[in-house]
Structure 1
């Protein structure tokens, strides 16, 4: 037990250190006066609109989660109860990465008597669906901003020389691809009992199982609709903030979509609340879109900072509400 706690403390310390270092490295040259001036000059109608939309998004996420919770034992989970648990989860994630997923499940186990195993299973389904939507959003951003994607790739690799090389050696390239696929297959077969291989296989099994379970829901249409709505809300949250800041007010909807994709990738990094990684990726893509480096970094700080404040305020409020609810007790049948 002591060894496990020590390992968790070390992981948390490393995560905090990495996040702090990235944030410091990114903002070491930004004067605090510049940030304050940008905050004052921003159109707060749009920023407050963004926060309102984000709050609706958290409720929709709670509603979607409640559609997945079908265990007959315990008290039925309402969308409002699921929303409060989701907010507590986001609040905990600010302190310990990924711990919020377990925390929100534990909350409903206490208040509604739903088994922790069932709740964790529903979270896995959620995460599987969100991963698919993230990949789909990345592909959509590529389709609408393919020129920018190709320009970014060409900065890293000479795409023309690469394509010419592949075409001139097409039989060799295809043969190499076949050998690579065969090699991966043999590795997975040879080391099928290895922990890493088992984790990879388990990951894909969870995704496949999660997708199959959607069709068995009482309201599969509502689940799919809410999943689409969640990602639309992500976009509107980013778009309204962009309208409220002078340096990004002229970005097109497709460019904002690209910024949202980069921010989403930054948020899934294993650091507290995406601190540092979110700022770095959002600022990087804004610079590519013609926004100055300073304005790009300040934009990232404003949208991330306001969202953190939203989670802190409403997360604490939800925690207070759930703490006041008595723990669920199984009815005495005799």
Structure 2
């Protein structure tokens, strides 16, 4: 298969999947009913959620300087912010291309070599991945009894034991294979894990590591706050803390699976809420409103950033 076809499939397939998932969502809630939820939504709560989202983007732009300063670069905060917003905008159309555009913006307007800029972005993503795992861990602790009862109710304990044993054996065999690999897929995994470890340890070698860690925690706290603040916007939707965290995690993974979570985000969030016996119709409506608000914010601010960037840097 040619490289061109692969690139086309990477763009087209997520969009097709998103379209199918939108159709699936409309089997759960009619377009007319969904439109009614949008009309009756409390937009003050949505605005508060978007405010938290904007704070997270500003914090991400500011956090970047802690990784660039040790290399001798001090970009303007405005350029860093515009680059971050453009990256989110590009990711809506081309998954994972945003990181490339972000590094390219800084190379063009701040004279930061593309390779160095992109390397810091990869290290940032590793920090974000760790935060996602921490949130998953907190959710498991908070909801341990609920998850345990859910597993007992829906799964045979003997089958679970066999599954865990098989998983442990599989991990052991796979780990041995990766350690001995000198080429192919095994080597790629080994290189990725090595980069992951190096990225994590580099954070603790950073001059302003505590400031970096604070902003990392703040960014993710704002993500959760954005999700939480939008829930009261939907009439009749009552969601406990555990369900908020589970829904947030489900929504986060859906964004990585399709272009910005198109189609999948509402379905994933509604599926997570259903575990807590939360009504399906308002759950789907919330997922659609939440996704629409996030996407509108990215399109508006990302689009404006494309226009503002050359004007702000007219000397370039």
The two structures have a TM-score, normalised by structure 1, of 0.86
**1:34 Cα deviation (Å)?**
0.9
Which residue of 1 is the match for residue 105 of structure 2? 107
2:293 to 258, 282, 306: 306
For residues 127 and 115 of structure 1, what CA distance do their matches in structure 2 show? 19
1:284 aligns with 2:271: yes
1-side partners of 2:44 and 2:5: how far apart?
Answer: 46
Secondary structure at 1:291 match in 2: coil
| CA offset digits 1:268-300 (Å, max 9, x no partner) | 22x211112322210101122222222111110
Aligned pair partner of 1:232 in 208, 221, 234: 221
User: Which one of 178, 189, 195 corresponds to residue 188 of structure 1?
Assistant: 178
In 2, are the aligned partners of 1:111 and 1:328 still within 8 Å (CA)? no
**114 and 247 in structure 1: CA distance in 2 versus 1, 3 angstrom threshold:** same
> Which secondary structure does the structure 1 equivalent of 2:305 belong to?
helix
Indicate the residue corresponding to 2:283 in structure 1.
Answer: 296
Q: Distance in 2 between matches of 1:323 and 1:209?
A: 35
Task: Report the counterpart of residue 262 of structure 1 in structure 2.
Answer: 250
After superposition, the Cα gap between the structure-2 partners of 1:207 and 1:239, relative to the gap in structure 1 and judged at 3 Å, is same
Residues in 1 aligned to 2:100 and 2:272: alpha-carbon distance in whole angstroms? 33
Match of 2:115 in 1: 117
CA contact (8 A) 1:62 1:82 kept: yes
Moved more, 303-312 or 284-293: 284-293
1:22-33 aligned at under 5 Å gives the runs: 22-33=21-32
Instruction: Say what the alpha-carbon RMSD is for the aligned residues.
Output: 2.5
Pair 186,51 (structure 1): closer, same or farther in 2 beyond 3 Å: closer
Hey, what does 1:223 align to over in structure 2? 212
How many angstroms does 1:35 deviate by? 1.2
For the residue of structure 2 that corresponds to 1:324, the secondary structure is: helix
Structure 2 residues without counterparts, runs of 5 or longer? none
Compare CA radii of gyration and give the structure with the larger one: 1
* 1:124–1:206 contact (8 Å) kept in structure 2: no
